Structure 1
Amino acid sequence: MIESEYIDGVRLLRHRAAQEHTDVTLTFAVGAQDETLRTIGVAHTVEHLVMSTVRQLPIQVEAEVDLMTTAFAASGSPARVGEFLNRLCAALAEPPVDRLAVEAGVLAAEDGWAAHPMAAFLLFVRYGASGPGLGWLEGAGYDGLTAEHVTAFARKWFVPGNAVLQVSGPLPEGLELKLPQGPAPVRALPTGRLLDGPSAVGYGIPGAAVLLTMPTGDAARVPGLAMRVLESRIEEQCRHVAGHSYVVDSQVVGMDWVIYAEAREGTEEAVARAVGEALTDLAANGPSEDELALVVARLEEEVATTDKELAEVFAGTMRRLMGEPEVPPIDVALANQVRPADIAAVLRDALPSAIGYAEEEALDVWKAYGFRPEAHCPVIPELPAGKIYKPPLAARTFIKDARSLVLVETGHGLALRDDDGIHEIKWDEVAGVMRTDGPTVVLGVNGCAIPVDPQVFRGSGAALDELARRTDSGLWFDESAFSRDEDDH
Structure 2
Amino acid sequence: MTTYDATVRRDAADLTALDGLIGHATVQGVPVLHAPRPGDISAGLLFRVGRADETLSTSGVTHLVEHLALHRLGVSDVHYNGATANTYTHFHVTGDEDEVVTYLNDLCASLRDLPLDRLETEKEILRTEAAGRANGPNSQMPLWRYGAQGYGLSSYDELGTWSLTADQVQQWAETRFTRDNAVLWMTSDHVPDGLDLTLPAGRRIPAPAASGSLPVTPAYIRGEDGHVVFDSVLRRSTAAAVFADILGRALFRDLRQEGGYSYTAEAHYSPRDADFATLTAYADALPEKQDAVVGAFVDTLAGLRAGRLDQAELDSVRGKLLKRYDTPDLGAARLPSDALSLLLGHEILSPEQHKAELEAVTVADLREIAREAWDGGLFQVPARGADWAGFTLAPQYSSSAVAGTRHQSLDSDGVTLVIGGEGVSLLLPGGPVTVRYDACAAMTARPDGARLLTGLDGFRVALEPTLFRDVTAERIAVLDEAVPAAAVVPLPARDPERVPQPREREMREAAPVPQGGGDEARKSASPGLRHLPVWFVLLVVAEVVFGLGLLIAILQTSDSAHEALIHLTRAMLPTALVIAYTRKAYRHARRDRG
Q: Normalization by structure 2: what TM-score? A: 0.70
The CA RMSD over aligned residues, in Å, is 3.6
Q: What's the CA shift for 1:247?
A: 7.7
SS in 1 for 2:306: helix
Moved more, 308-317 or 103-112: 308-317
Q: Is 1:25 the equivalent of 2:48?
A: no
Structure-2 residue corresponding to 1:259: 280
- Report if the CA contact (8 A) 1:31-1:70 is conserved: yes
Q: What's the CA shift for 1:480?
A: 7.1
CA deviation profile, 1:133-176 (whole Å, cap 9, x unmatched): 00111142634443333322222221111111111125332111
Cα distance change of structure 1 residues 275 and 351 upon mapping to structure 2, 3 Å threshold: same
CA deviation profile, 1:204-250 (whole Å, cap 9, x unmatched): 37412112121342xxx222222222233234455566373448453
CA distance in 2, matches of 1:178, 1:269: 57
1:173-252 correspondence to structure 2 within 5 Å: 173-204=193-224, 206-217=226-237, 221-238=238-255, 242=260, 244-246=262-264, 248=266, 250=268, 251-252=270-271
Q: Is 1:8 the equivalent of 2:31?
A: no
Q: Is 1:423 the equivalent of 2:433?
A: yes
- Report if the CA contact (8 A) 2:56-2:160 is conserved: no
Structure-1 residue corresponding to 2:365: 342
1:65-144 correspondence to structure 2 within 5 Å: 65-111=84-130, 117-140=136-159, 142-144=161-163
Q: What's the CA shift for 1:15?
A: 1.0
Cα distance change of structure 1 residues 299 and 89 upon mapping to structure 2, 3 Å threshold: same
- Report if the CA contact (8 A) 1:234-1:275 is conserved: yes
Structure-1 residue corresponding to 2:306: 284
CA distance in 2, matches of 1:81, 1:484: 52
Moved more, 342-351 or 283-292: 283-292
CA distance in 2, matches of 1:66, 1:100: 21
SS in 1 for 2:201: coil
CA distance in 2, matches of 1:485, 1:313: 55
Q: Is 1:407 the equivalent of 2:427?
A: no
Q: What's the CA shift for 1:443?
A: 0.9
Q: What's the CA shift for 1:468?
A: 2.0
SS in 1 for 2:198: coil
CA distance in 2, matches of 1:45, 1:183: 21
Highest CA radius of gyration, 1 or 2? 2
CA distance in 2, matches of 1:86, 1:247: 44
SS in 1 for 2:244: helix
CA deviation profile, 1:239-279 (whole Å, cap 9, x unmatched): 56637344845344232524142636535444434433322
* Letter of the structure 1 residue corresponding to residue 62 of structure 2: A
SS in 1 for 2:106: helix
Cα distance change of structure 1 residues 236 and 56 upon mapping to structure 2, 3 Å threshold: farther
- Report if the CA contact (8 A) 1:389-1:460 is conserved: no
CA distance in 1, matches of 2:398, 2:378: 16
- Report if the CA contact (8 A) 1:66-1:114 is conserved: no
CA distance in 2, matches of 1:303, 1:195: 42
SS in 2 for 1:37: coil
Structure-1 residue corresponding to 2:376: 353
Cα distance change of structure 1 residues 114 and 272 upon mapping to structure 2, 3 Å threshold: farther
Structure-1 residue corresponding to 2:555: none
Cα distance change of structure 1 residues 227 and 248 upon mapping to structure 2, 3 Å threshold: closer
* Letter of the structure 1 residue corresponding to residue 313 of structure 2: E
Higher relative contact order (CA 8 A, sep 6+): 1
Q: Normalization by structure 1: what TM-score? A: 0.84
Q: What's the CA shift for 1:199?
A: 0.8
CA distance in 2, matches of 1:483, 1:282: 55
Q: What's the CA shift for 1:25?
A: 1.2
Cα distance change of structure 1 residues 109 and 302 upon mapping to structure 2, 3 Å threshold: farther
Q: What's the CA shift for 1:428?
A: 1.6
Q: Is 1:59 the equivalent of 2:78?
A: yes
Cα distance change of structure 1 residues 8 and 478 upon mapping to structure 2, 3 Å threshold: same
Structure-2 residue corresponding to 1:472: 484
- Report if the CA contact (8 A) 1:235-1:261 is conserved: no
Cα distance change of structure 1 residues 188 and 143 upon mapping to structure 2, 3 Å threshold: closer
Aligned to 1:389, which of 398, 401, 406?
406
* Letter of the structure 1 residue corresponding to residue 202 of structure 2: G
Q: What's the CA shift for 1:129?
A: 1.0
CA deviation profile, 1:419-474 (whole Å, cap 9, x unmatched): 55323322221111112456301111111111233333334445432222222223
Ranges in structure 1 where 5+ consecutive residues have no aligned partner: none
How many residues align structurally? Answer: 471
* Letter of the structure 2 residue corresponding to residue 259 of structure 1: T
CA distance in 2, matches of 1:264, 1:144: 41
CA deviation profile, 1:305-362 (whole Å, cap 9, x unmatched): 387778889757645644x665866532342342323212221133221110123xx2
- Report if the CA contact (8 A) 1:50-1:92 is conserved: yes
Cα distance change of structure 1 residues 327 and 173 upon mapping to structure 2, 3 Å threshold: closer
